[in-house]
Structure 1
Amino acid sequence: MYESIRHELLVMRDELRQSLYRNTASTNPQVRQYIQDDLDDVERALLKLEIGVFGVDESTGAQIPYHKLSALPTARTEEEIIYH
């Protein structure tokens, strides 16, 4: 069901890893931290897919609608999607 989202997350992970590598010598540590935070979010989403809890709102336990997850696959709550 989530194969297209999984593929998108894998692509995002690869791009973020490359970006993190390129910005290793960045003079701005905030840039590196933003990239690392995004990478952590992607890896968390991939782990949730692997263990079968992807799409479950971490605040309410309700299932987040597929179309919303397609828009923001790293979302941990439905509210996060609304305010993103």
Structure 2
Amino acid sequence: MDQTFNDLYVEIVAMKKDLEEHLEKNQLSAHVKQLAKEELSDINNTLEKWNNGYYGICEETGNQLPVELLSFQPTVRSFREVNHLMKYLKKPVFPL
């Protein structure tokens, strides 16, 4: 489990660096730039939680979020957010 968390930390830091580089180059449309800034904010909040020892803890219940879930979405904040993501991900790309 420690290695999984170490791998997640490396991934989160890499995500932050990548977003910062793209924002620095200023070659993004206004809409994509806004999305990138929001994602960067989520990453910074995640790293702050990591540094304070609260990474992987649901902000609403205080329970540990499953490692599998954190591996899928390292910046997830709560079980409610997970449920929202799962509903979105279950929608078909091409409705019948």
TM-score, length-scaled by structure 2: 0.77
Cα-to-partner distance string for 1:15-44 (whole Å, 9 max, x where unaligned): 000111122x64x42221110000011111
Between the aligned partners of 1:42 and 1:81, the Cα distance in structure 2 is: 16
Partner of 2:58: 57
Matches within 5 A, 1:25-40: 26=28, 28-40=29-41
Q: Which structure's relative contact order is higher, taking Cα pairs within 8 Å and 6+ residues apart?
A: 1
Partner of 1:17: 20
Tell me, which stretches of 5 or more residues in structure 1 are unaligned?
none
Cα-to-partner distance string for 1:38-84 (whole Å, 9 max, x where unaligned): 00111111111111000110111111011111110000012323332
TM-score, length-scaled by structure 1: 0.87
Say whether 1:4 aligns with 2:32: no
Partner of 1:83: 84
Between the aligned partners of 1:66 and 1:20, the Cα distance in structure 2 is: 30
Tell me, which stretches of 5 or more residues in structure 2 are unaligned?
86-96
Partner of 2:48: 47
Q: Which has the larger radius of gyration?
A: 2
Q: How many residues align?
A: 82
